[in-house]
Amino acid sequence: MLDWAQGVMSGPAIRESVKTLAELSGLFRDQRAYAAMNPEREIYRVRVWAPVSAGEEGGLFWGVTLLQPGKVGDEYFMTHGHFHVNRTRAEYYATVAGQGMLMRMNGQRTTWGEAMAPGTIHYIRGEHAHRVVNVGTEPLIFWACWGSDAGYHYGAIRELGFGAAVVERDGKPAIVPCE
């Protein structure tokens, strides 16, 4: 069962995981601000329905992410972000609440943002890394569908990050290139 607007899925097959600030170490620009915050703070929560095993060819996963509002220094809270291990595997994101920025990056590290708001749907090509940023003041809730054989390649993001960050400038979100 789903509650679309609240980002809730219930049933015995649903798995839920929480990402805390501690699990996003090294990803935010302002390390001093990061160190001053509660490492146990919840940044986002994911609920997934995986009807088949991870890695099974041709299956689909279904999930929802609730990304909290907030900032580390001037940088908005965001998901870790990843490439798919199998770069032919695409993904849909459909937003139901909040204001966000979908950051996409190609293999040459060219990075850009696309606005997320209730009613937007994004098709993410398999070769693009993707990360979601909450640029609003309410939880950002978006549903997703992706291939069970897409896989998650986090290492490239952990080592090099994205080519741009989303920060608050004069009270508004701005995309700034990373060094």
User: Where does this chain bind Fe ion (CB under 5 A)?
Assistant: 91
Beta carbons of 99 and 135 less than 8 angstroms apart:
yes
Q: How far is the CB of 90 from Fe ion (least distance, A)?
A: 9
Q: Which is nearer to Fe ion, 34 or 91 (CB)?
A: 91
3-state secondary structure 52-76: CCCCCCCCEEEEEEEECCCEECCEE
Q: Which is nearer to Fe ion, 32 or 123 (CB)?
A: 123
Q: How far is the CB of 106 from Fe ion (least distance, A)?
A: 15
Query: Strand locations in 74-150, DSSP E?
Result: 75-76, 91-97, 100-105, 111-116, 121-124, 129-134, 140-147
Q: How far is the CB of 51 from Fe ion (least distance, A)?
A: 17
Q: Which is nearer to Fe ion, 91 or 149 (CB)?
A: 91
Q: Which is nearer to Fe ion, 105 or 167 (CB)?
A: 105
Strands 91-97 and 129-134: unpaired
Q: Which residue is nearest to Fe ion (CB)?
A: 91
Residue with tokens 């997934």: 48
Q: Which is nearer to Fe ion, 103 or 167 (CB)?
A: 103
Beta carbons of 30 and 75 less than 8 angstroms apart:
yes
Q: How far is the CB of 151 from Fe ion (least distance, A)?
A: 9
Q: How far is the CB of 84 from Fe ion (least distance, A)?
A: 6
Task: Measure the CA–CA gap between 26 and 30, rounded to whole angstroms.
Answer: 9
Q: Which residues contact 35 (CB under 8 A, 6 or more apart)?
A: none
